[in-house]
Amino acid sequence: MVSPYLKEMNGKKVLIVNEKPFLILAGEVHNSSSSSSEYMSGVWEKADNLGMNSVLLPVTWENIEPAEGAFDFSLVDQLITQAREYNKKIVLLWFGSWKNAQCYYAPSWVKRNTSRFKRAEVKKGQNFTKLEDFYEMPYTTLSYLCEETRQADARAFKELMKHIKEYDAEENTVIMVQVENEPGLQGAARENSDEADELFQSEVPADFVAFMKNNTASMAEDVKQAIKHGANEGNWTEVFGEVAAEIFSSYHVATYINTVAAAGKKEYALPLSVNCWLDKGQKPGMYPSGGPVSRMMEVWKFCADEIDVIAPDIYVPNFLDVCDEYIKLGNPLFIPETVTHAYAGPRQVYVVGHYHALGYAPFGFEDMGEEFSAIDSYLFGVETTDPLFKEPQDVQEYQWITRTLNELSPLLAHKYGTTDLQAVSCERKDQDSMVFGEYGIKVMMDSHMNSRRDGVCLALKIAEDEFYVLVNGCIIHPLSLDQKNPYVGVLSLEEGRFEAGNWKMHRRLNGDEVAIMRYEKPTLLRMKLYSYK
Ligand code: DGJ
């Protein structure tokens, strides 16, 4: 069996599994769920109830290598076996040296031996600090400069990938692997050990300087200006000015993770991703400095060519602005973590329809539909005035959306990278129309005739005059863009679903329902238009 891989189709990357395009319509489990296969049985059920085809779950370094060189893959095997029983795919999350910029999941033999496996010195000479800007949180993490740790992590990841190949290559249950989790350094923009100081004062590698100087077009404005005004050679400050410390951290974190990724990929060449804790305009160190945030993406592209996908964990309200930042440099959009509030469903539709994303996964999906705790509320940005941020996603609707996208996925993936697949969202009201050659669809979301405020509409053109439309919370109007035939009519409107790849009509809607095309619950339509004068 050919292992899963990314294929470029019409300029977009599509994940191919068992020789077919596969959209990852998934959820990420809470961190501790996959530490027990017994606990996971209920979680697979929930994924199934939400219509998901895949689950993102952690496998930890401490679990697979409890003593150095002694590997135990029994839990990994149980998780893969369970996924098969539930007909689910797995995106495996390698919790190795980094988990949320700390080292929670390093094995005890790594944690205890701080002279061999060095800690990052946020403050000179200290292996521990309290994050002043972050609720005085106790903080320690492994050093990104420590070669011993890098090699130990790479050996463990290599064994893991080798094992997955042996156990799973015939079935392709594991379809992608995230290397580490939200890596980087908190508390400072760079490490401050003597070794770090010395490296920071030494010459920046010439090929890296040349790459950065030649690739400023896509960079964030402050990074671009610092690089344009920096020297052509010299130490990190001379070359990169104000952003030197963050670039230094990114260079070393990305190079480290690339070593780990390469060791695994050599054994089993699955697509590999990294995820990031977003920068929200703060200074590096408030968010993990050196992590693969969009402002450091050029550095990551240079240093980490084994990584196929840079993925944002999006908990902020302006979800779509973040998506826009992570599609530069041909990066395929993949959302491994996001919120479970009332925009979770509409956003899933929009990332597929508009961004042609590889996949989408709300975090802690096990709790979808439940009221939010105080910490969830903080994470999900409920302090905004929008009441939908406080409202849990309706589970039945989420299930419908995920199942429908799944059933449509062969058709959708085929149109990735083309203008035949488009979407509009209530979160982007300035873009309210979709144009497909001689026809278009105008979408209204704020009408007094429509009680919902979470509208989304995805349209897939299947012939010049025919479309599948997945719609909710909208009123839609077909348009003619043919100047010779400016009027448009609906020849047929059907409501239905897909079954085993075939359209199954429930009702034909050519009466009142076509007079005002208003949708107050998720609906899949097949619509044929005509134009006249
Ligand atoms: C982001 C991390 O990547 C996850 O593992 C988890 O800790 C969530 N934050 C919690 O919200």
Structure confidence by residue, pLDDT tens digits, 370-429:
998 877 777 766 666 788 988 999 999 999 999 999 999 999 999 999 999 999 999 998
Ligand 1 within 6 A of CB of 376: no
Query: How many angstroms does the Cα of residue 354 sit away from the middle of ligand 1?
Result: 26
Q: CA-to-CA distance for 393 and 348, rounded, in angstroms?
A: 12
Tokens of 467: 């479309």
Would the pTM of this model clear 0.95, i.e. be above it? yes
CA–CA dist 516, 448 (Å, integer): 13
Ligand 1 neighbourhood includes 181 CB (under 6 angstroms): yes
At residue 446, the pLDDT reads 82
Give CA–CA dist 89/35, Å, rounded. 18
Distance of CA 270 from the midpoint of ligand 1 (Å):
23
Overall residue count recorded for the chain in this entry: 533
From the CB of 363, is ligand 1 less than 6 Å away? yes
Take atom 5 of ligand 1 and give the residue whose Cα is closest: 31
Name the band, by pLDDT with cuts 50, 70 and 90, for residue 448: confident
8-12, 250-254, 374-378, 477-481: range with lowest mean pLDDT: 374-378
Q: Is the pLDDT of residue 152 over 80?
A: yes
d(CA 133, CA 473): 41
Q: How much is the mean pLDDT over the chain? A: 96
The CB density around residue 385, as the number of other CB atoms within 10 Å, is 6
Query: How far apart are the C-alpha atoms of 87 and 82, rounded to whole Å?
Result: 9
Query: CB under 8 Å, gap of 24 or more: what pairs does 443-446 form?
Result: 443/471, 443/474, 443/475, 443/476, 443/477, 444/474, 444/475, 444/476, 444/477, 445/473, 445/474, 445/475
Q: Is the CB of 100 under 6 A from ligand 1?
A: yes
Is it the case that residue 1 has pLDDT exceeding 90?
no
Distance in angstroms (rounded) separating the CA atoms of residues 181 and 57? 11
Distance 277 CA to ligand 1 centre (A): 9
Residue 383: the pLDDT is: 62
Distance of alpha carbon 14 from the chain centroid: 14
Average of per-residue pLDDT across 475-487: 97
Q: Is the CB of 141 under 6 A from ligand 1?
A: no
